[in-house]
Homo-oligomer: A and B are copies of this chain.
Amino acid sequence: MDELLRFFQRELPEINEFLDHEADQLNGLVRDVAKYILGSGGKRIRPMLTLLFARALGYGKDDYQAIACALELLHSATLLHDDYLDEAELRRGREAAHLVFGRTETILAGDALLALANEMGARYGNPRLSWLLAKGIMETAMGEIEEIEFSRSPSLDRETYMRIIIGKTARLIECACRCGAALAGATPEQEDAAGEFGLNLGIAFQLVDDALDYASPTSETGKPEGGDLKEGKVTLPLILLMEEGDEAGAEVLLEALKEGRLSDAQTADILGQVREGGYSEKTREEAALYVEKAKACLDGFAPGDELVVLKQAADFVLTRTK
């Protein structure tokens, strides 16, 4: 993973500086919210992927920051609105923005970041980029809505679960990769390959996220263990557990999740069963399949530094513990 680490160390300061500079231009009412969410230790996976694909496809200019950072802003905008609507208390181990800055500031900061992201993407006068970004914004908004709908009437259906994680996570990562390709003026085939890589990586990323939720202690992820279950969210570890149980039990659980009346004892019991059955690990195994699919999408790319880093980034998704 040396190349990956070096790449991030080299490129991250410029990305962060650019994000900081853009946030500084915002109106005072929302500036601090924007800086707070952007400064809360995001992994900057989306900007890095845009940059990597642009470079891998031969883009030599140094103006990649606006489109790369647009995706990060869009992601942050979603987090702000989501956390407010979910009444989330924590984000990346820190108090959620709406609790620090208030409702109005947080909603408007989300709007402002979305608008800014879009404006940054339009700076290139590249219709393909604008289209990809517009589609990414639309899919992200729809994904957010689908997720909330799913949380209100949860099911243990894997297809629905996959659709949700694609909508809420993978499409935006796909968009980041496609934008890098489009910036480089890639062929449709190259852009599709980049997009496929991103889609599969995004799925793997969310699967690992959902696995970690059942596996790791608060200190590493910044989230309480089993937080998804406590919030009534159905994710793959739980689906895998229920697939091996009886249907009646599943019905009872769904009802309890829906009505938010899972007792502490029931929660502890399910967490124990997931642990014993190794369903968190099985979810990671599923993620590994998608990482392989992602890497296969890179077959047509010319060898080079970026390709090495992209492959390491795919592997890293699997090994991360927070």
Contact = CB atoms under 8 A, between A and B. Distances in A.
Chain A, interface size: which category? 35 or more
A110 B133 CA distance: 18
A134 to B, nearest CB: 4
Contact of A107 (B26, B81, B123, B125): B81
Contacts of A81: 107-108, 111
B27 A108 contact: no
A141 B118 CA distance: 12
Interface stretch (A143-151, A168-176, A182-190, A278-286): A143-151
A145 B26 CA distance: 10
Contacts of A116: 138
Q: How many copies does the complex hold?
A: 2
A141 B108 contact: yes
B148 A135 contact: no
B146 A119 contact: no
A138 B115 contact: yes
A26 B139 CA distance: 11
Contacts of A164: none
A119 B144 contact: no
B122 A130 contact: yes
Contact of A119 (B27, B28, B111, B138): B138
A30 interface: yes
Contact of A29 (B115, B140, B148): B148
Contacts of A30: 145
A273 interface: no
Contacts of A144: 108, 111
A18 interface: no
A160 B211 CA distance: 52
Contacts of A114: 111, 114-115, 137, 141
A149 B29 contact: yes
A26 to B, nearest CB: 8
Interface string A214-230: 00000000000000000
Contact of A111 (B28, B134, B141, B146): B141
A138 B70 CA distance: 13
A90 interface: no
B111 A85 contact: no
A149 to B, nearest CB: 5
A168 to B, nearest CB: 13
Contacts of A140: 115
A121 interface: yes
A131 interface: yes
Interface of A: 26-30, 81, 84-85, 103-104, 107-108, 110-112, 114-116, 118-119, 121-123, 125-128, 130-131, 133-135, 137-138, 140-142, 144-146, 148-149
Closest CB pairs A-B (n = 10): A122-B134, A130-B130, A115-B141, A125-B127, A119-B134, A115-B138, A119-B138, A115-B137, A122-B131, A27-B145
